[in-house]
Homo-oligomer: A and B are copies of this chain.
């Protein structure tokens, strides 16, 4: 029986290989066989860790979400103003570099495959609720609005939409373009 630490390390290796395969070949290309080849594992080495492609995709989505939140935590520390804190959160979620474009492709693949999968939808809803809470607190620190929910939802919806543009129209989702949209949107929401 393998030690627990080996088990966790192997799971992480498999998930990281899945991110790379989805980024390169999309959801349809991300077969168990292809993921095993990418990670340098034997065929059949993945089944003991993830019993189905759906379970593997859920774990990969969870990994991407956790990685984003690790960045969010690290970035939040140095914010000088509430506006900067809000901007930093959004910038960590937006696909502003190659690694985060890979993550966007995982997210879009996951969403497309999850519409009829209750477990996957619950996972997504739980993650989004985490971000709603965070965005609500960041906006509350900034704008004396009575009901922040429409602004929180509009901002969250924008952050999700940006993943689609990054995955499907990368020429429209350069870092400069996304940052200009974010500034325009935050200026507007904080003034309007």
**Chain A residues within CB distance 8 Å of chain B:** 22, 24-29, 105, 108-117, 121, 124-125, 128, 149-151, 153-154, 156-162, 164-165, 167-169, 172, 177, 180-185, 187-192
Contact = CB atoms under 8 A, between A and B. Distances in A.
Nearest to A120: B168
A110 B180 CA distance: 27
A116 B177 contact: no
Contacts of A25: 116
Contacts of A162: 157, 161
A151 B186 CA distance: 11
Nearest to A132: B172
List the number of copies, as a whole number.
2
A162 B128 CA distance: 13
26 contacts: A25-B116, A27-B115, A28-B116, A29-B116, A105-B115, A108-B115, A109-B112, A111-B111, A111-B168, A112-B113, A115-B167, A121-B169, A125-B168, A125-B172, A150-B183, A153-B177, A153-B181, A154-B185, A157-B164, A157-B165, A158-B158, A159-B161, A161-B164, A185-B188, A187-B192, A188-B189
Contacts of A105: 115
Given A128-B172, A159-B161, A192-B192, A27 B112 contact: yes
A151 B184 CA distance: 7
Most B CB atoms within 10 A — which of A154, A162, A165, A172?
A154
Contact of A161 (B28, B158, B167, B187): B158
